[in-house]
Amino acid sequence: MTSSVLYVAAPIRVKGEITGVLTVAKPTVNINSFLKTAKPRIAAVGGLAAAAAIVLSLVASFWITRPIRRLTAYANDIRAGRSVDLPALDKSEIGAMGQAFEKMRIALEGREYIEQYVQTLTHELKSPLSAIRGAAELLGEKMEMPQRQRFLGNITNEAARIQDLVDRMLELAALESRSILPAVEQVSLNTLVKAVLESKQPLLSQKNLTTVLSLEAKAVVAGDKFLLRQAISNLIQNAIDFSPDGGQLTITVTTADKLAYLTIEDGGPGIPDYAEQKVFEKFYSLQRPGTGKKSTGLGLNLVREVAKLHGGEITLANRSAQPGVRAILSLKLV
């Protein structure tokens, strides 16, 4: 058996001169035996170090990419027109970038909002202004008093229509500019529905409408009482307008899964297929049966904003079993 020998030597100096050499010799078999024993430990430590490095790199990658993925999803939602909040981000540069994105979005939406409002308001004002101008020009001519009174009535009606349109626009603009409710109180949904129905009693009597009311005992929500009353009033007014004479309104209040549901059903003609996706758009309105008149087209949009402000939602769809429309307003229970 052959074996290598490892030599380590050092000179011995006496008065600056080399007088001898000290040599230590050791067979390499001892070193090889040590290495053979140490290799498993070295391999284990190296494996653990590699695994730790991989885990740390994955954690670091996840920690870095997660806010980026959230920001990417947020940007895609905004591009798709969905209403979403800025996701929770850290306080790093990515968080600062997210805040910059949010400020840019608000600025762009504000500009688009103003442009859209100016365009739609101008379009909606054209019709009544044209009617007022035409009636005023005709009043300059000679005509019988009954005819003159009719044109004066037209001017009064169209002026009132413009006033109603402007008032609704101001209400809606004030709602859309809010992000939170300034004052929140506990509101009984049942009491609010009864109060609105009482105020609508002359209209119900005029069309000989009957009301079927079903209210749960505990339907209390947190919110702005005035805004909630406006929303409920708009929904009930719509149901009255589209109900046939002698028809029936069914109004129910139920609770489930920490939500209160106000359901209003009428027996009208229902929503045409072409209008199903447009009923909540600003200034979009359907002709009322019987009169053929249209509203400002802002009522349902206002209801949607009130619902959103209270953490709820509003849905409108045709009834399946019989003619009419079913409106469902959901709100969070206290």
Give the architecture (CATH level 2) of 93-176.
Answer: Orthogonal Bundle (1.10)
Q: On the CB side of 180, how many CA atoms lie within 13 Å of its CA?
A: 3
Burial 292-301 (b: 16+ CB within 10 A, else e): eeebbbbbbb
Helix or strand or coil: residue 238? helix
Question: What residues does each domain of the chain span?
Answer: 5-73, 93-176, 185-332
Alpha-carbon radius of gyration of the chain = 39
pTM assigned to the model:
0.56
Cα dist from 217 to 110, 191, 196, 213, whole Å: 43, 10, 18, 13
Question: What confidence tens digit (pLDDT) does each residue in 136-190 have?
Answer: 888 888 888 888 888 888 888 778 877 777 776 676 666 666 666 767 889 999 9
Q: Which amino acid is at 214?
A: S
Superfamily of domain 185-332: Histidine kinase-like ATPase, C-terminal domain (3.30.565.10)
Helix or strand or coil: residue 333? strand
Greater pLDDT, 112 or 14: 14
Question: What confidence tens digit (pLDDT) does each residue in 113-134 have?
Answer: 555 556 656 656 776 777 788 8
